[in-house]
């Protein structure tokens, strides 16, 4: 038996040059490096320059992923871009990326699932590739959350940062066994009853403004670990993988305490956890591919490794993906 799998050919990322430290934030709002590090694990975050848009970050990450994969942009026939901070209300930022890469065939669209965006985008691209609708996809998470933060709200402005990450996926025939390379399973969930706990207080249809991010942090925290671990158990049940058999856990980087608690609950060994929240802050849909690129570039993630992604965010939305590198 053979199966079509979405195999990762390469990954890449991009961070804006400007680094904003906790100490700089403490000079602006009533907070401290100690509070931010203790409660979140964040030490710094990157902030896009004036005139630097989500599409620019995404194009840089996409180019890095294409170079890492060793494939030409012209071979891409699908771009799925996860973002909650598009350049404009429309057209999709994905078409700006497509144009920036000089591609004018295939399809490009944005996907909005806030911090879960990358997992949702990966699952969507995987489904398109497995049906044969497309052959080679760029899946990108790119955000400029600095543009939607209320810089006077210490409860949120210390948490988020800007950045982008991307992977190149290719539809390949694999033996159809658990040792296949590529995406092995994805699990997506949403529950709109929680839509008021993490949201932006503006939008084209409601206020005709962009708005600012608002969050009941403690409420989000309360649900996070349970939701994350639920969808990871789904991924384990679907594949027979276990906390012991996975090689790397690349979670959404919102808060080190959430990541530690989730890994602990699932009995995932701490040395398998890829952590970048200290350096990047919460970059929403970009956080998983940013962390992945770090672990691939420093040689941790190697061909054949079993890699687990999870994310949870506004909506609420949450999801997991398990793949073999």
Instruction: By CB under 6 A, name the binding residues for ligand UT7.
Output: 31, 35, 39-40, 115, 154-155, 158, 217-218, 220-221, 224, 254-255, 258, 282, 312-313
Which CB sits closer to ligand UT7, 68 or 194?
194
Q: Quote the least distance from Cβ 57 to ligand UT7, whole Å.
A: 18
Which CB sits closer to ligand UT7, 40 or 98?
40
Q: Quote the least distance from Cβ 42 to ligand UT7, whole Å.
A: 9
Which CB sits closer to ligand UT7, 150 or 247?
150
Which CB sits closer to ligand UT7, 91 or 211?
211
DSSP code of 158? T
Within 54-116, residue ranges assigned H as helices are 54-69, 93-100
Taking alpha carbons only, the member of 314, 167, 212 closest to residue 254 is 314
- Name every residue whose Cβ is closer than 8 Å to that of residue 43 and which is 6 or more positions away in sequence: 21, 22, 33, 36, 37, 278, 279
Find out whether 180 and 242 touch, Cβ atoms under 8 Å.
no
Q: At what angle do helices 287-297 and 117-131 cross, to 10 degrees?
A: 80
What residue ranges in 51-161 does DSSP mark as E strands? Answer: 78-82, 107-111, 136-144
Dihedral, CA of residue 11, residue 50, residue 112 and residue 71, to nearest 10: -20
Dihedral, CA of residue 65, residue 70, residue 75 and residue 78, to nearest 10: -20
First to last CA, the chain: 21
The residue with tokens 């092995």 is 184
* Count of beta carbons in the 10 Å neighbourhood of residue 285: 35
Is 309 strand, coil or helix?
Answer: strand
Could you tell me which residues are beta bridge partners of residue 110? 81
Q: Quote the least distance from Cβ 127 to ligand UT7, whole Å.
A: 24
Q: Quote the least distance from Cβ 160 to ligand UT7, whole Å.
A: 8
For ligand UT7, the nearest residue by Cβ is 217
Which CB sits closer to ligand UT7, 109 or 221?
221
Which CB sits closer to ligand UT7, 115 or 241?
115
Q: Quote the least distance from Cβ 221 to ligand UT7, whole Å.
A: 4
Cis omega before residue 91 (within 30°)? yes
Please state, in angstroms and rounded to a whole number, the distance separating the CA atoms of residues 285 and 272: 21
Q: Quote the least distance from Cβ 115 to ligand UT7, whole Å.
A: 4
Catalytic residues, which ones?
Answer: 115, 252, 282
Which CB sits closer to ligand UT7, 40 or 276?
40
* Count of beta carbons in the 10 Å neighbourhood of residue 24: 11
């Amino acid at each position: 038996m053979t199966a079509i799998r979405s195999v990762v050919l390469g990954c890449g990322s991009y961070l804006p040059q400007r680094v904003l430290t906790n100490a700089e934030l403490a000079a602006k709002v009533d907070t401290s490096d100690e509070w931010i590090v203790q409660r979140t694990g964040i030490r710094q975050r990157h902030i896009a320059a004036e005139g630097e848009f989500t599409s620019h970050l995404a194009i840089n990450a996409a180019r890095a992923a294409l170079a890492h994969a060793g494939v030409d942009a012209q071979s891409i026939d699908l771009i799925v871009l996860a973002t909650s901070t598009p350049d404009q209300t429309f057209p999709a930022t994905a078409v700006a990326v497509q144009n920036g890469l000089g591609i004018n065939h295939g399809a490009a669209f944005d996907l909005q699932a806030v911090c879960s965006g990358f997992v949702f985008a990966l699952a969507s691209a995987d489904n398109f590739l497995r049906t044969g609708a497309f052959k080679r996809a760029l899946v990108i998470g790119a955000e400029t959350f600095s543009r939607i933060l209320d810089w006077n709200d210490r409860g949120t402005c210390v948490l988020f940062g800007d950045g982008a990450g991307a992977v190149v996926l290719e539809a390949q025939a694999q033996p159809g066994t658990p040792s296949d390379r590529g995406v092995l399973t994805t699990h997506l969930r949403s529950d709109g009853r929680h839509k008021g706990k993490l949201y932006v207080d503006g939008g084209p249809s409601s206020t005709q403004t962009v708005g600012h991010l608002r969050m009941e942090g403690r409420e989000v925290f309360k649900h996070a670990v349970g939701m994350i671990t639920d969808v990871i158990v789904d991924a384990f049940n679907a594949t027979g993988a276990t906390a012991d058999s996975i090689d790397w856990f690349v979670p959404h980087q919102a808060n080190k305490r959430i990541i530690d608690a989730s890994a602990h609950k699932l009995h995932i060994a701490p040395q398998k956890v890829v952590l970048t929240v200290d350096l990047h802050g919460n970059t929403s849909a970009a956080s998983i591919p940013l962390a992945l690129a770090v672990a691939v570039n420093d040689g941790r993630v190697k061909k054949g490794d079993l890699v687990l992604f999870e994310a949870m965010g506004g909506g609420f939305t949450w999801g997991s993906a398990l793949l073999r590198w």
